[in-house]
Chains A and B, each alone.
Chain A
Amino acid sequence: MASESARACSAAEAAFRVPYANARRRRIALVALDAGAAGLAARLAEQGFPRAVSLPAEASGGAWLEALLAPAREVSGLLAEADHLFLLASAEGDAAMAGAVADAARERGVPVSAFLVAPAAADDGTLARPLSRLRQVAKMLVVARDEADVAAVLTALRA
């Protein structure tokens, strides 16, 4: 029988592939690490992607604890449910919180990927800091010149 040999890769035999769903819906958490990334996250949410938690770019000054507390709780809640974490960063920031968020993800067994979205004009010096920090924590890092890449990847991963 054709279906019992490698010849079963025909179009006709493809019609007999098991039609049932082969995966449950994946839950992807998005965390924006700076103001530029927060803007991107807001635009993604308008397109129907999961709402991101936006962290303050830096945790300093007198009210740093208050500034961090609420988003930190949100991140914790997200990670409790998430199958995968995407960090969003832009050339505007230095991804200072990347390590802390990734540590929390790792403790919960959530794999981490990252997007650094930077315009083509962004020079290497500007990107060096966030790139270095994201590289230390992300299993997969995309340096994108076009934020449409982020939507394309999230769509492809069924976010």
Chain B
Amino acid sequence: MLRREQNELLTRTGPGTPMGRLFRAYWIPALLAEELPEPGCPPVRVKLLSERLLAIRTLEDEYGLIDEFCAHRGVSLWFGRHEEGGIRCPYHGWKYDVTGQCTEVPSEPEENGFCRRIKLTNYPLVKIGDVLWTYMGPPEEQPPLPEWEFCRVPPEQTFTSKRLQECNWLQAMEGGIDSSHVSWLHRGALNKDPLFKGAKGNQYNLNDAKPVFEVVDAPGGLFIGARRNAENGNYYWRITPWVMPSFTQIAPRGDHTVHGHFWIPIDDENCWAWSYDFHPTRAIRPEERQAMKEGHGIHVTYVPGTYRPAANKDNDYLIDREAQRRGETMSGVAGIAMQDASLQESMGPIVDRTKENLVSTDNGIIMARHRLLRAAKALAEKGVLPPGRDPEHQRVRSAALVLPPDASFKDAAADALRVREGVRHATV
């Protein structure tokens, strides 16, 4: 349960809000690199943190993220034309470079310098891995570039997708740190989905639907451990790192790729669910990559030409009551990603947390909220920069492993929970 004002604080991320300020302290995923495939390609309208922006890749192969609207009379620069040195508004010919600086106002004499006084808001846009990252905070507080392992491994070892989720970012993210739903909602997928099936760990999951949870602090956020019984009195642990503000990595299964998410607010009632798969030591196999493109694992298929899932609220998520009755799916919705998204969207655009009744297995969610609230207030009131900006905080891994009963998972799995280049992840 949150008080109404706490819920407001955590869910509003527009300019000037405490949580918006917090998100603006980090590099966040803005676009897939495939959306700006070549120099001079069509610009892309991007809304992030309730700001309408335009992503461009100039003829000179520079990336930029600028205010979508021309400073003259507010038309969308999406209609703009790439020219040498920038993009030109088609309405009256005002031209802007990749930093948003106006470089030409054809109606004004060049010598009066009018154009130099015009500058659109701009944010850096940097390609790392399959993702174009942006930083929307004060330039003097810009952190080092992101070091997430999924975007630092060679291209053949990683795959990233994104999908529109039509609800507030927080309820989407909370699903990612709520391991207790997996044995229910995704039960049918564990032994069928090509990107999950066959792992020994799945049987531990399916044999024990009542895991025991432990939550411990991590430098960038939390480690959330789910413990189930294994052989000989040992425990099977699935450990999920959550790094502020909205990164999670799902504990691996067998030699499958490792999955995870970022949840990034578009506005207060929509977010991008970013989904990545990578393998630390081998290339993603062609059949695995194909499965990801076909919407298996944590990915989806789309309404053509968009990043909106093909199963969405306008078609009742293509619910199949027969599959539900047969027990193939718990909710009748196919696919892990849409099983999550459909339920999270059903909560409403911003769920009313004053009415929820949490239980002890929700402690990971409770503690993540507490950290977000604390960090947002510390930043807004005292200028304290939050955890998760340090690249070392980002160099974490999830892990699935069997440990003796008296071992502290954070200590016993310390090596497994940090990135070790060239070393396989800990998985069962």
Contacts and interface: CB of A to CB of B under 8 A. Distances in A.
Interface of A: 5-7, 9-11, 13-14, 17, 22-23, 26, 84, 111, 113, 120, 124, 127-128, 131-132, 135, 138-145, 148-149, 152-153, 155-158
B352 A156 contact: no
Given A148-B374, A156-B358, 9 more contacts: A6-B314, A9-B345, A124-B408, A124-B411, A140-B214, A143-B410, A152-B367, A152-B369, A157-B358
B343 to A, nearest CB: 10
A128 B406 contact: yes
Contacts of A132: 406
A143 B361 contact: no
A9 B313 contact: yes
Contacts of B345: 6, 9
A143 B317 contact: no
Contacts of B342: 6
B166 interface: yes
A14 B352 CA distance: 9
Contacts of A9: 166-167, 313, 345-349
B408 A10 contact: no
A11 B348 contact: yes
The 8 closest A-B pairs by CB, nearest first: A140-B360, A152-B370, A6-B313, A14-B348, A156-B366, A113-B360, A143-B216, A141-B214
A153 B360 CA distance: 9
Nearest to A139: B212
Contacts of A149: 367, 370
Contacts, number: 107
Contact of A158 (B1, B167, B214, B269): B1
Nearest to B366: A156
15 contacts: A6-B317, A9-B313, A9-B348, A135-B405, A138-B212, A139-B210, A140-B212, A140-B214, A140-B360, A141-B212, A144-B217, A152-B370, A153-B370, A157-B358, A157-B359
B408 A127 contact: yes
Interface string B275-314: 0000000000000000000000000000000000000011
B355 interface: yes
A142 B214 contact: yes
Nearest to A7: B313
Contacts of B406: 128, 132, 135
Contacts of A144: 217, 367
Interface of B: 1-2, 166-167, 210, 212-217, 269, 313-314, 316-317, 342, 345-350, 352, 355, 357-363, 366-367, 369-370, 374, 405-406, 408, 410-411
A81 B81 CA distance: 72
Q: Which of B2, B348, B350, B358 is most buried by chain A, counting CB atoms within 10 A of its CB?
A: B348
B3 to A, nearest CB: 8
Given A128-B408, A139-B212, A145 B217 contact: yes
A149 B370 CA distance: 7
A121 B47 CA distance: 43
A152 B269 contact: no
A111 B410 CA distance: 24
B179 to A, nearest CB: 12
Contacts of A140: 212-215, 360-361, 363
A132 B406 CA distance: 5
B93 to A, nearest CB: 41
A131 to B, nearest CB: 6
A116 to B, nearest CB: 9
A11 B406 CA distance: 48
A112 to B, nearest CB: 9
A7 B314 contact: yes
A139 B352 contact: no
B168 to A, nearest CB: 11
Contacts of A145: 217
Contact of B367 (A14, A113, A138, A142): A142
Nearest to B346: A9
Nearest to B374: A148
Contact of B215 (A10, A13, A143): A143
Contacts of A10: 348-349
A152 B215 contact: no
A49 B265 CA distance: 35
A6 B316 contact: yes
B370 A135 contact: no
Contact of A153 (B210, B212, B313, B367): B367
Contacts of A11: 269, 348-350
A5 B153 CA distance: 43
B408 A131 contact: yes
A149 B345 CA distance: 29
Contacts of A22: 355, 357
Contact of A148 (B212, B370, B411): B370
Contact of A23 (B346, B357, B367, B369): B357
